[in-house]
Structure 1
Amino acid sequence: MSSWYRPDPLTRDLIHLINARRHDHGDADAAVDTLQAFLDQDREQDLLTVLAALDEEMAEWLFDLLAEGACSVVIDGDPEEKPTYAVLAALELPLQANLRLPLGLKIDPVATSDLLHKHLHLPSGTVVMVEPRLLTDATLDLLTLHALHEHISALADSQRRQCMAARLHPPVESTAYLIFELIGSPEPGLPESIEEEDRQALLAGLVAQCGELAPAPQMIEAPVYAAYAMFDAQNAVRLHRLADETVAVWRDLEPAVRARIIVHLHTQCGNGVYMPVWTDLFDPELPDDYGPVWTSPDVWVFTADLPIEWPGEMLTNRLLAEGCTRFENHIVEAPEN
């Protein structure tokens, strides 16, 4: 007799909120509470599994709520007063090329707090706390949604601020992230835009503190939840590693085989929000039923707000730079597409 699996209460809550959203009567606050409960239990992978299985509209909704739930928490206070929030944010900044190791990327937390308060036009009474070093994409790649949520929840409970990374890792791309927290914010979100004058003044103030930054204010956009910065960092690191591994296997082939090998770059269309990417090496002289010479493991990337062709284009550029010119991009569509 087969056993019947009964989902745990939290999983049932997740199923309920997804079904409620499908029928247009979902409660966003209740959904955030449920997602935060998953993160409190360090069940991030369960949420990502669900995210990969949803349709595009539902996946985009859950993706944004997950970022908010990880990085924005209510500060306990008088229930009769308007709530205030602790928000974990990130500002993407351009780095100079050819950085020297070991990295510095140090900033003055007090001066930077003043810069952010002034040029993001934050409400009075909002306390700004700043990570004392800019974080690279390879450093953010090592974090998790659980770690982000744990960090901002501790600050919301008035605990002492801890650094988010013990050491910096060399960047994969010329990007650094200014991580900061808003404590006592009247809103759970972040400013949606930065005026040109503020953008220039903000970057000028940061460049004065950290010479490793590039003076390119046009590259600066409005701050986002730190979860989005982590997703971008993980995308960059994972795709670069996939390219490195593919090129390394390709280079190890015998010259005659390498000359005729075609690299296939596969992107699983899925829901266009969270999906796998992989590569294989195909020898056209082998029988069709032989299959690829080598296939990489799947690399999962977050592609919300990015074109479906983006992972293939990024991998193509890396392969070309390494001298590999025989490749094909394959977008593998889901059956319903």
Structure 2
Amino acid sequence: MSSWYRPDPLTRDLIHLINARRHDHGDSELAIEVLQALLEQDREHDVLTVLAALDEEMAEWLFDLLAEAACSVLIESDHDDEPAYAIFGAIELPLQANLAAPLGLKIHPEKTAELLRECLHVPPGTVVTVEPRLLTDTTLDFLTLQQLHEHLSCMAGSQRRQPITARLHPPVESTAFLLFELIGASDSSLPESIPDKEREALLQGLVAQCPEIALAPNMLEVPVYAAYGMFDAQNAVRLHRLADETAAVWHDLDPPVRSRAIVHLHTQCGNGVYMPVWTDLFDPDLPEDHGPIWTSPDVWVFTADLPIEWPGEMLTNRLLAEGCTRFENHIVEAPEN
């Protein structure tokens, strides 16, 4: 007799919520509660597996709710007051080129908190706290949504703020992330824009504390949930590692093979939100049915707000810098969900 697998209650709840959303009566608040429960069980991978299988509209919906679930927490209260939230935000900042080691990237938490309060127009009564160092992309790459959510939950529970990571790693791109919390906010959203005057004041105030930041106000992004910053950081690190691995294999080929080898860069468009990227090397002198002489592992990237061509362009630029000039970009169509 064949056995039938019954999903656990949280998985069933997530499936029901997705189906309800498909029929235009989804409950976003309940979905966030379910996603938070999954994160608390360290089941981020399960959610991302579901995310990868959805169509574009549903994937975008779940992607945004997942970021909100990780980075906004309803503060529990014994009183029947208006709801208050703890929010974990991030601002991406440009860094100077050719930074000296070891990295500093230190900022003054109290001064920066006051700077954020003024420039983001944080309302009175909301507490602003700040990570004492800017975090690089390689540093954020070690974090998970579960860790972001756990950190914020501790802050919402009035526990003393602890740095989210103890070690700073050299960046692969010239950016760093300012992480901060808003405790006691009236809703779970972050400012959607920063006026030019406040944008310039914010960056000047940060550069005065940390000269490793580049003074480029036009490159200062609006605040986002820290999860989005982590996703961007993971994208950069994963694609750079894929480029490094591909270039290393290409360099190790015998010179005659290397001179004629073609690098294929594959992007499976899928739902356009979360999808795999991989590379392989072809020797055109081999028979067509031989296949690639090497294929990389899949690298999964988040592309919700990025053009489908972005991973291929980024890898192309890296390979050109390594001296590899023979490559082709392939966008692989996935079956309809």
Normalising by structure 2, what TM-score?
Answer: 0.99
1:115 pairs with 2:115 = yes
Match of 2:168 in 1: 168
- Structure 1 SS opposite 2:235: helix
> Matches of 1:279 and 1:11 in 2, distance apart?
33
- Structure 1 SS opposite 2:228: helix
Kindly provide the CA deviation profile for residues 62-110 of structure 1, in whole angstroms up to 9, marking residues without a partner as x.
0000000000000001452211000000000000000000000000000
> Matches of 2:66 and 2:78 in 1, distance apart?
26
> Matches of 1:155 and 1:114 in 2, distance apart?
18
Q: Which amino acid aligns with 1:273?
A: V
Kindly provide the CA deviation profile for residues 209-228 of structure 1, in whole angstroms up to 9, marking residues without a partner as x.
00000000111121000000
Match of 2:45 in 1: 45
Kindly provide the CA deviation profile for residues 259-294 of structure 1, in whole angstroms up to 9, marking residues without a partner as x.
000000000010000000000000111011111000
1:165 shift after superposition: 1.1
Alignment of 1:53-132 (within 5 A): 53-78=53-78, 80-132=80-132
Match of 1:28 in 2: 28
Match of 1:144 in 2: 144
> Matches of 2:237 and 2:9 in 1, distance apart?
35
> Matches of 1:108 and 1:87 in 2, distance apart?
20
> Matches of 2:44 and 2:127 in 1, distance apart?
29
1:35 shift after superposition: 0.3
Q: Which amino acid aligns with 1:304?
A: A
Q: Which amino acid aligns with 1:104?
A: G
Match of 2:334 in 1: 334
Match of 1:245 in 2: 245
Match of 1:268 in 2: 268
- Structure 2 SS opposite 1:81: coil
What is the number of residues matched between the two proteins?
Answer: 337
Match of 1:321 in 2: 321
> Matches of 2:87 and 2:331 in 1, distance apart?
37
Structure 1 residue ranges without an equivalent (≥5): none
Q: Which amino acid aligns with 2:144?
A: T
1:33 shift after superposition: 0.3
Match of 1:135 in 2: 135
Structure 2 residue ranges without an equivalent (≥5): none
- Structure 2 SS opposite 1:191: coil
1:167 shift after superposition: 0.9
- Structure 1 SS opposite 2:132: coil
> Matches of 1:13 and 1:38 in 2, distance apart?
11
Match of 2:187 in 1: 187
Identity %: 77
> Matches of 2:191 and 2:22 in 1, distance apart?
29
> Matches of 1:302 and 1:229 in 2, distance apart?
11
1:299 shift after superposition: 0.2
Runs of 4+ in 1 over 3 A off after TM superposition: none
